[in-house]
Amino acid sequence: MNEHPYIDSPIKSHTDMATDTDINTNESAVTDAETSDTNTKHIRIINTFMKRRTHMNKHAEQALTDPKFAQYLVNNSVGDGNLEGIHDLHALFADSPNGRDAPLTLEIGFGLGDSFIEMAAAEPTRNFVGIEVHEPGIGKCAYMAGSQGLTNVKIINGDAIQLLKQLPENHLDRIQLYFPDPWQKKRHHKRRFVSPERMALVTRSLKQGGWFHTATDWEHYAFWMLDVLDNFAGLTNQAGYGNFTPRPDFRPMTKFERRGLNSGHKVWDLIYTKD
């Protein structure tokens, strides 16, 4: 992997910029089991997220306990998510107005869900599934979906890598990963979500012509992702080899992103299509 020097200081991480009542926990809700020997008894688990304690406001708490929000919560919303039996995300919408045949987007690590819900509201004929490990984000996202009366949203608590392993091949129209943990220290780079091993699962889950869309505010990670994805067989850079994608209008700009841009920092988007 080529190392790319920093040109600009990256935007301060979202969790560092947040307050107790407004915290963005947009981490990648994933883990990955990796081992160099398939006969090894003890498989080392490499986390690509860090589950932090965050404040839960009254709306998030209400959504996790009030039955009227239960329609949005696919599995247990508190503690470690149990993904047993979740093998078909389209089936989650069988009784919804869109039905199970509508285009389907999976967002990995939606944080508090502001942009996720904004996207779902903007495309009511597309179904959206979000997966997250932080209970305050799960609750707030469900509360916003219920407050807006959305029928095209489902929320899963748990490990996105495990979920991708359980899904059929060619299952999803889009997978999006916005502002994942950059794992800045070199010894932690193995924890970054975008790696050849993890992208094999992402690509497997996408339909032909489906998209993987990611964005980051850390320059080193941006060029890391560009290098991995441009050289990954089965994916094509929509902006052309070696290029980043101008921020698309359909990805909402968060207040943290806007604050960083106003301070002269940058954000990098990448969109890849499955061949």
Active site (catalytic) residues:
181
Q: What is the 3-state secondary structure (H, E, C) of the chain?
A: CCCCCCCCCCCCCHHHHCECCECCCCCCCCEEEECCCCCCCCCEEEECCCCCCCCCCHHHHHHHHCHHHHHHECCCCCCCCCCCCCCCCHHHHCCCCCCCCCCEEEEECCCCCHHHHHHHHHCCCCEEEEEECCHHHHHHHHHHHHHCCCCCEEEEECCHHHHHHHCCCCCEEEEEEECCCCCCCHHHHHHCCCCHHHHHHHHHHEEEEEEEEEEECCHHHHHHHHHHHHCCCCEEECCCCCCCECCCCCCCCCHHHHHHHHCCCCCEEEEEEEC
